[in-house]
Amino acid sequence: MNFSTFLLFAALGLGQSAPLPATGEDPNASSVSEQQLVRLANPRRRSAARELLAEMLRPRDEAVPQGRLVSLGEALRAGTSLPAKQQIVSTYWSLVIAEAKLLTALDSSTGLGNLAADGDEQTAALVRHVQADAEAQEHSLRVDFLAAQYALAQRLGWSGDVLPIAADRPHVGAYLSRLETLFPGTAPPLPARKIAAVLPLRATAMDRLAESCLAARDALNEASSEVAGGQTGEQETLDLMQRTQGCESAFLEAVARYNGEIAAYVFLPEIAQRTLAGAYGESQETTIVNMLIPPAEEPTRSAATPENGDSLEDRTELATAGPPFIGDPQTAALKRTILRRADYGASDISAGRYQHMVQRKAVEGAQLLAVELFGSANAYVADGVLSGSPRPLTLEDCVRSQDPLGKLTAIREYWILAARQAKAQVFQNQLARLKELEFVARQFGPPEENSIMLLVASDVQRAAAELAEAEAEAVEDQFVAIPRLLGEPPQAWQFMATNPHAGEYNMKFDRQPPEIASQPEIQLLHQSLPLLHQAILSRTRAVLESEAARLASVDAFTRGDNSIQALLAATKAQTSEELRLINDTVRYNRAIAEYALSVSPSNLSLERLLGALILR
C-alpha cells in the first residue's frame, strides 16, 4: 500500500478488526470477499446496527471526552413530570450521538497525526488537506459534544462544574409495542398504532444502513491491497472513504430517529396510563428505562464487550455463500442472460420502462411519465399495516366537503401523499435493479478486486434503507394525514388514485377581473406556472436520458467495455432524476391549485373546480 492510501485508511481508524478466518482456498480467489458478502446475505447472530454502534462507542486509548458517567435511570430522576422526563431522554440520546460522532472523528485525527507530510508534492498536499479537514471536523464535533453535555447537565440541574457522560446506549434492536396486551379487546389509540406500525420500518432502515457501512468498511480494507497490486486507483479509495463517512453519519441519524420514536411511544398519555400506573419514584424510572432499552439487549458503557467487535467468523452465518465468482471475462450473451434474470422480482435493468415515450411530443411524454410515476396501477401499498383491502383515494374525495381554505390545504396535502407513495415505488424499482447488479457482480467481478463486490453490496443495503425510510413515511401518512383529509381514522390502506397534471395549464389570465389580476400573488403565479411547466418538460427529458444512459451502460458492460461502478452510478442517477421529477410535478400541481382557487368564485361547483385542477 502506498503512503497516500495508507493515510486514507488511518483517517478512518480502519484495519483494526480481527483478521479474516483462513479458508484453505486459493489466496488469489475471491474467498475473502465471499465470506464478507455472506454476512450481508444471511441473518446475523448479532445485529449489524448493534455491531456498528458498539464499534463507534468503544473505549479509546487516546484522550476521550471527560465527565461523570450517568445512567439513563439516574438522569430520569431529575424529571418532575412525564414531559420533563421525555425531554431528558431526548437530550440524553443526543449526547450519545454527539459522542459517537466525536469518537469516530478522534480515530481519524489520531491516525493522521502520526503521519508526516513528506514524499512527492501530490502526496504531501493530500496529507495536508486530509489532516486539515480532520482537524476541523474534530474541533467542530467537540463543540457539538460540549453543547450536548451542557444541555443534559442543565436538564439534570447540575452546576456545570462536572459534565455528564452517558452510560447507556440507545436501543438498536427490534421493538415490541405489545399493543394487543396493553389494549385487550379494544382499539388502540391512533397515535400508538401509528408509531407501532412505523417502528419496524425504522428498525429495518437503521440495520440496513449499518450493513451498508460495514460493507463499505470492508471495501476500504480490501482496497488497500488492491491499490498495492495496481487493481484500484487512489481516487476510488478516496471515494470509498467518503462513502463510509456519509453512511455512518446517516446511520447515527437513523439511530436518533428510531429512539426518538420509541420515546414518543413510551410517553404517550394512553400508553403511560397503562404502563406507569401506580409506579412512582425509582420504580417509575426503572419501568421507563426498561421500555426504552429492553433489558439484556443493549450494553452499557461498563459492559464487557470485545474492543474490536466479534470476529467475522463469529458474527456471520456461513451458510449459503451463493454462486462462485467467475472472474474471467464472459461472453456478452451470457451476461445478458444473467442481467435479465428475475431472481429478485420485477426489474427493468436490461429493458427500459420509458423508452416508448422518447418519440412522443414533449408535453405528451411528460403526461405519460407522470401517469407512470404516480399512476394508481403502480401505487405503493404496504401490506399488513391496515386490516382492510386497499382503497383508492381521489382528489375529489378530499375536497368534496371542504370550505375554500380547507380545499387548498387538502389539495396540497393530497399531492404530498401521492409523492411519498410514488417515491416508495421508485425506491422499490431501484432496489430491484441493484440486487440484480449484485448478482452480476458476484458472477463476473474480477477475483482480484474484492472491494468492487463489497461496494455493490453496500449500495444494495443503502437502497434497502432508503426504501424502508420511504415506506415509513408512507405508513405514517395513513395515520396522520389521511384522518385530516377524511375526518376519520383509516380502516384500510388508502392509495392516491388521481394522476397529477403535467401538461400546459391554461390560466385564462386575460379573462380575470383587474382587481384579481393585479394582485401580487396572482401576478407571481401567472409568471411562475409556465416556468414550472418548463421545468417538468426538462426534467422529463432528464429522466428519459438517464434511463437511456443506464441502458447504454448495461450494454457496454455486456461487451466488457464498462465496469460495475459505472452501472451503479447510472442506476442511482436514474433514481435521482425520477425523484426530482416527482418533486417538480407536485410543486406544479400545488401552484395550479393555488391559482385556480384564488381566481375562482367561492360557489364554483366541485366538478368545475376539479376540471380546473387536473387533466381529464
pLDDT at res. 405: 67
- The SS3 of residue 89 is helix
Tens digits of per-residue pLDDT, 534-572? 999 999 999 999 999 988 888 887 777 777 788 889 999
Model-level pTM?
0.80
Tens digits of residue pLDDT in 396-409:
888 886 666 688 89
Q: Which residues pair with 494 in a beta bridge?
A: 391
Poorest-pLDDT segment among 27-31, 238-242, 577-581: 27-31
Spatial separation of the C-alpha atoms in residues 391 and 493, rounded to whole Å: 6
pLDDT of residue 607: 81
- Mean pLDDT (the chain) is 77
Of 36-45, 152-161, 598-607, the poorest mean pLDDT is in 36-45
* Per-residue pLDDT tens digits for 117-150: 555 577 667 767 877 888 898 889 999 999 999 9
Residue 281 binned pLDDT confidence (cut-offs 50, 70, 90)? low
Q: What percent of the chain has pLDDT over 70?
A: 71
As given in the structure block, the three cell numbers for residue 587 are 410543486
Specify which of 3-7, 56-60, 416-420 reaches the highest per-range mean pLDDT.
416-420
Cα-Cα-Cα-Cα torsion 272, 274, 280, 283, nearest 10 degrees, comes to: -100
Q: Which residue has the higher pLDDT, 219 or 204?
A: 204
Instruction: Please give the average per-residue pLDDT across 97-104, as a whole number.
Output: 92
More confident of the two residues 363 and 285: 285
Least confident of 56-60, 152-156, 338-342: 338-342
Determine the number of helices (DSSP H) and then strands (DSSP E) in the chain: 20, 4
Query: Could you give the CA distance from residue 283 to residue 286 in angstroms, rounded to a whole number?
Result: 5
DSSP character string of 451-475: HHHHHHHHHHHHHHHHHHHHHHHHH
> Tell me, what DSSP letter sits at residue 391?
E
| 593-615 mean pLDDT | 82
Lowest mean pLDDT among 25-39, 469-483, 515-529: 25-39
Residue 227 near residue 141, CB atoms below 8 Å? no
